[in-house]
Structure 1
Amino acid sequence: PQKAGWLYQLYKPATPKWMIEAEKAGKKVTPAVVDATRPAGDWNHLFLRVGPDRSQVIMNGVKYFQFDKGSADWNKRVAASKFSKYPSFGKPTKGHICLQDHNDLVSFRNIKIREIPADGSVQDPSDGELALKGVPAFPNLEWEGWEPVNEETGKVVPLRPMAITHANDGSGRIFVTTQRGMIQIIDKKSPEKTKLFLDLRDKVAPWKKNNEEGLLGLAFHPDYKQNGQFFVYYSAEGTPRKSKVSRFTVSKDDPNKADPNSETTIMEIDQPYGNHNGGCIVFGPDGYLYIGLGDGGSGNDPLGNGQNLETLLGSILRIDVDKKSDGKNYAIPADNPFVDRANAKPEIYAYGLRNVWRLSFDPKTKTLYAGDVGQDLWEEVNIIKKGGNYGWSVREGTHNFGNRPETAKEKPIAPIWEYDHGVGRSITGGIVYRGQRLPELDGLYVYADYVSGKIWALEYDAESDEVVKKLRLDASTVPVMSFGTDEDGELYYTVQTVKGGEGIFRFEKK
């Protein structure tokens, strides 16, 4: 694109707020993320999202501007334009989109114009809908240690269940973490009130609306029935920001209580910002612990972590928690993909990820799925392969992002599925269903969007490496935080709520 003249005003970059704040804090930022224009000879993707109330200008995946029509900023810009003398200028009326260049030959390709309904909605890309609905799994449940209103301040305290899983110990119990720092037990035989298994609220950084910190992950050791070990991932209270992976053990006297003094820190990860902390941890069929991380946060991957193998951030890690090596409370599996690469972190299993939310293995095929939260345009479902590069931050989904050159040895792997921000804006990775109660879900990967509340199911064919079916499920009216299963493989999902009995849902036939 031209880089002068009045047309350039449309996509001329301005220093974003996050970068100004980062520079004030003395943080190193990568200048290339400000001007995302690619050099002459390369294709540039200028994305204009024009809605009834809001418009966005996005260059090569990097958001330059967002305008709320009728706002003070919008009116100021309209008034300052030389075209303001025209009554219809800057008004949300019908008009033409003009693509042009001055004095030079210019080519445009892949121009797509999609008309949307009057209400601004975008049709889900799906092959139909399953006749299933979400219902509260434990409608009368009370949560030990949680009240919906703080008695001292009078403020509402939402319940945010972040992970739901089981110990695979034959007890049938369900374990749920809350973002604020509690691990609760639900006994399916008498699900009237939870039992507080472990309270980490004095160790966990408090969740706030502008960050993504808290108690984010829980995984039970494959031999939990024998050794009583389980692992958590949480944002540690205090500064500087750190995420911790720790091991705890169950109490010797009470199977429904963890020993709060048994913590062993397995790993600490420096976090430059309060978002993109990842946090999902799962044990693989190989017995190793897999840890999903984000790129460190802020926006546009300002520190360039996504494609940098010298940092743990922007990656999925794989470690052996049953051994120790090099003075650490874990060991590196000998077959990890980057153990022999100079300067690369040997813990890394896969990289090029923006914010992994969440990870899960298909119990039958052992395939590792990951939802990766996008920035301004695309959300991803990925099949994670050893040594794989998933593109961020030179790609978002299958699309180029910014103007950083692709320098990694590994060619980026495309997601098996992506959806744009007209459909949803923050993926909640899910679970491949292998239970018995809902045969219509067998083998399907069930996932959701945190912002829109929409829930879908994908059928992935490993032989062709393609999604062969996409189905809608009943949408949630509130954010879907996470998916999980009980010992029988039956599926649950968690949502934010102020009603204790409406924090965990399951599917039933309509």
Structure 2
Amino acid sequence: MRFAKRHFATVATSVAMSLPLSLAGPFSLAAPLAHAETPVNQLSQSEQRSGWKMLFDGKTTDGWRNYKKDKVSDGWKIEDGALVRSKKGAGDIITKDKYGSFELSLEYKISEAGNSGVMFHVAETDGPPWHTGPEIQVQDNVDGHDPQKAGWLYQLYKPSAPSWSKDQSVVDSTRPAGQWNQLYIRIAKNDCEVCMNGVRYFRFKLGNKDWKERVAASKFAKLADFGSLGEGYICLQDHNDLVSYRNIKVREIADDGSVPQPIDGKLGMSSNLAFPNLKWDQWEAVDDSGKIRDLRLLELTFANDDSNRLYAASQYGAIWSFDNQADVSDSKLVLDLRGKVHDWKRSGANEQGLLGLAMHPDFKNTRHFYVYYSHPSESKSVLSRFTMSKDNPLVADPASELVLMEIDQPYQNHNGGSIEFGPDGFLYVSLGDGGDRNDPHGNGQNLATLLGSILRIDVDHPADGKNYGIPADNPFVDVKDARPEIFAYGMRNPWRIAFDPKTGDLWAGDVGQELWEEVDVITKGGNYGWSTREGSHAFGNRSASENASDPIEPVWEYDHQIGKSITGGRVYRNSRLPQLDGRYIYADYVTGSVWALTFDPATKTVIRNEQIIPDSVAVLAFGQDAAGEVYVLTNSTRGECIYRFDGAAAGSEAAKK
């Protein structure tokens, strides 16, 4: 295959870099890939750009003092970069500044049977800090004596699961005494939140009816100023037990609830219809029952056959092709899988349907293409091959389906589904962890299951009774109990993967749960952390599996006040827009932000993150043509789903649709 050989040297180097030497196979001389990690008591690149500040530098107690005192007592010590309550009489300490609406992130390590707490909106009154400041409990949940567990808002709120989750039990995501736990607190006018090790425990609103009723039923009922001041100090409690704190970070929230975007600049570009005259063959915006049926495109790609045609796949099951010309008007329905594909409009099915399309690298000769879709009646995903008709080269033969894989899916969400042929000629398949929340089956770190992984299979050489083969250099071929199809693992829900057409690097956007969205450069054998980590941050208290390697840091991440659902993109490789050339283009589906990431592969660090367009656009996915041009794919009741970037921001059409 000519296409398969074109970048083989590049991808061989890239995929080998992440492997331990014992697994590196023919690439054993390559060093493991290690993305730059953020040191303790320092801000990450994303945090620096988005308004976070350190409240503790790991060296001094600057910014802190004892409650009603001018300085910090000698009962608090700095040891190994941690602020430690080390001896009797240390006393509660508070920040020197007051905070109203803010986010606080910190790590704590509690001693066996120990107790402490974090309070907010504390005022210096006649009583102790807890007379005004509500307390998030810190304690050893195993041997601690207080019935109020770590992460609970003392006597007011304890963990609760969202209504849609099948698991409604009270979660305890704390790690044992002597280990570091990460606590996140957001206090804002309209919505407050507490997460323990990345798992959301509860949300609440200060001063609303529910809050007042809970306070009235607590020991704080007669304290007039309790939780009602609107601002105050942050307090770390001395409860006469050994406790350590580090990585204490704060970000103030503006009156309108906004926080700074993690960007270095604004490109001021626009997004406009790439094919304004294009009509979709046999598609109508109203279904047979008279309901509006919007078009959702999830893939736009090309065949390596010199035809200059693009292929577009819709989530409801149709695939079209059309000439890659700006003035094109006609499209051709290649394949209609409606009825064979789960309808994404059904209850809870918005992450199901036709999710992936990839053209065989030697499509010109094989006439094969591959799809990934949700089964219409069974809880499984299907990876299949179709072949173009012998009688009409522009349409596929519906009877030609060859099922390569069927993958059981325990829940409706986190189906993944993006598929791409790599420059090595193998097919890469992205799979989510199986769904629900908190990775209930532990699939992310389990090499014995395909879920939570990116697979790499050989579609040209089937073997061992399967309709595909296993590349001999796949990283876990010889690992006991591991699935040999796995190329990388530790994924939650990779929502789109893509190869850089120039370097052969494999990029992925992995959708987070409560706090962080991440961008990864995928390497052979790499562990991307889920579900012991979300991005570069602690998640839950599940131990890593025996075969798991150390997690690889994401090359970029952003928090959930910036966006809540990443749309992984593609590396722009076209001279039409020099300001985008070589940048990774990605977006957030919920907030509609679209960014360009400049990444230095030598240092494994992000150099710049820039806003591409000023408008908010709900980007479902990104497509790319043979010339490296990147397209924005959206949802539309008029079929106007494909946009491209242009230099002037005279008003983006995509934002108006």
Query: Which category describes the TM-score, using the shorter chain as reference length?
Result: over 0.9
1:164 aligns with 300
Note if 1:110 corresponds to 2:247.
yes
Q: What are the superposed Cα offsets for residues 236-269 of structure 1, whole Å, 9 maximum, x if unpaired?
A: 1112x11010000111222221111110001110
> For 1:176, which of 312, 326, 335 is the aligned residue?
312
For 1:372 and 1:316, how far apart are their aligned partners in 2? Answer: 11
TM-score (norm 1): 0.92
**Relative to structure 2, which stretch is displaced further, 132-141 or 226-235?**
132-141
Note if 1:353 corresponds to 2:503.
no
Per-residue deviation, 1:429: 0.8
Per-residue deviation, 1:108: 2.0
**Relative to structure 2, which stretch is displaced further, 127-136 or 412-421?**
127-136
- Distance change (3 Å), C-alpha of 1:181 and 1:336: same
Per-residue deviation, 1:142: 3.0
1:492 aligns with 631
For 2:468 and 2:195, how far apart are their aligned partners in 1? Answer: 43
Per-residue deviation, 1:339: 0.4
Read off the aligned partner of 2:308 and give its amino acid letter.
G
Question: Over aligned residue pairs, what C-alpha RMSD do you find?
Answer: 2.3
Q: What are the superposed Cα offsets for residues 407-461 of structure 1, whole Å, 9 maximum, x if unpaired?
A: 4441110001111111111111111111121111111111111111111111111
- C-alpha contact 1:232 1:246 (8 A) present in aligned 2: yes
Note if 1:10 corresponds to 2:147.
no
Secondary structure in 2 aligned to 1:10?
A: coil
Per-residue deviation, 1:197: 1.2
Read off the aligned partner of 2:535 and give its amino acid letter.
G
**Relative to structure 2, which stretch is displaced further, 162-171 or 326-335?**
162-171
1:35 aligns with 172
- C-alpha contact 1:379 1:426 (8 A) present in aligned 2: yes
- C-alpha contact 1:456 1:470 (8 A) present in aligned 2: yes
Read off the aligned partner of 1:231 and give its amino acid letter.
Y
Gaps of 5+ in 1: 24-30
Per-residue deviation, 1:73: 5.1
1:259 aligns with 397
Per-residue deviation, 1:5: 5.3
- Distance change (3 Å), C-alpha of 1:254 and 1:37: same
- C-alpha contact 1:18 1:299 (8 A) present in aligned 2: no
The within-5 A match list for 1:277-288 is 277-288=415-426
Identity between Structure 1 and Structure 2 (%) = 56
Q: What are the superposed Cα offsets for residues 21-72 of structure 1, whole Å, 9 maximum, x if unpaired?
A: 258xxxxxxx9x9211111111211101223311111000011112356777
Per-residue deviation, 1:340: 0.4
Note if 1:436 corresponds to 2:575.
yes
Q: What are the superposed Cα offsets for residues 130-185 of structure 1, whole Å, 9 maximum, x if unpaired?
A: 232111222343323333334624x3322211111111222222211111111122
- Distance change (3 Å), C-alpha of 1:261 and 1:89: farther
Q: What are the superposed Cα offsets for residues 289-312 of structure 1, whole Å, 9 maximum, x if unpaired?
A: 000110000000000000000000
TM-score (norm 2): 0.72
- Distance change (3 Å), C-alpha of 1:199 and 1:87: farther
Secondary structure in 2 aligned to 1:335?
A: coil
2:387 aligns with 249
1:28 aligns with none
Read off the aligned partner of 2:371 and give its amino acid letter.
V
For 2:590 and 2:642, how far apart are their aligned partners in 1? Answer: 17
Per-residue deviation, 1:82: 3.9
Secondary structure in 2 aligned to 1:440?
A: coil
- C-alpha contact 1:18 1:298 (8 A) present in aligned 2: no
Q: What are the superposed Cα offsets for residues 372-417 of structure 1, whole Å, 9 maximum, x if unpaired?
A: 1111111111111101111110111111111112344411100011
- Distance change (3 Å), C-alpha of 1:73 and 1:221: farther
Secondary structure in 1 aligned to 2:244?
A: coil
- Distance change (3 Å), C-alpha of 1:90 and 1:496: farther
Per-residue deviation, 1:7: 7.6
- C-alpha contact 2:165 2:436 (8 A) present in aligned 1: no
Q: Give the number of aligned pairs.
A: 499
- C-alpha contact 2:161 2:167 (8 A) present in aligned 1: no
Note if 1:471 corresponds to 2:610.
yes
Note if 1:229 corresponds to 2:368.
yes
For 1:5 and 1:243, how far apart are their aligned partners in 2? Answer: 44
For 1:119 and 1:323, how far apart are their aligned partners in 2? Answer: 58
- Distance change (3 Å), C-alpha of 1:402 and 1:446: same
- Distance change (3 Å), C-alpha of 1:214 and 1:100: same
The within-5 A match list for 1:42-441 is 42-67=179-204, 74=211, 76-84=213-221, 93-150=230-287, 152-153=289-290, 155-189=291-325, 190-208=327-345, 210-211=348-349, 212-239=351-378, 241-407=379-545, 408-441=547-580
**Relative to structure 2, which stretch is displaced further, 60-69 or 13-22?**
13-22
Per-residue deviation, 1:117: 2.1
**Relative to structure 2, which stretch is displaced further, 120-129 or 186-195?**
186-195
**Relative to structure 2, which stretch is displaced further, 469-478 or 330-339?**
469-478
Read off the aligned partner of 2:373 and give its amino acid letter.
Y
- C-alpha contact 2:490 2:531 (8 A) present in aligned 1: yes
Per-residue deviation, 1:90: 5.7
Q: What are the superposed Cα offsets for residues 455-483 of structure 1, whole Å, 9 maximum, x if unpaired?
A: 11111111111112211111553421111
Per-residue deviation, 1:222: 0.4
For 2:400 and 2:222, how far apart are their aligned partners in 1? Answer: 71
Read off the aligned partner of 1:394 and give its amino acid letter.
T
For 1:70 and 1:358, how far apart are their aligned partners in 2? Answer: 41
For 1:332 and 1:121, how far apart are their aligned partners in 2? Answer: 48
Secondary structure in 2 aligned to 1:160?
A: strand
For 2:500 and 2:324, how far apart are their aligned partners in 1? Answer: 24
Read off the aligned partner of 1:174 and give its amino acid letter.
L
Higher radius of gyration, 1 or 2: 2
- C-alpha contact 1:306 1:314 (8 A) present in aligned 2: yes
For 2:509 and 2:418, how far apart are their aligned partners in 1? Answer: 11
For 1:465 and 1:428, how far apart are their aligned partners in 2? Answer: 21
For 1:101 and 1:35, how far apart are their aligned partners in 2? Answer: 23
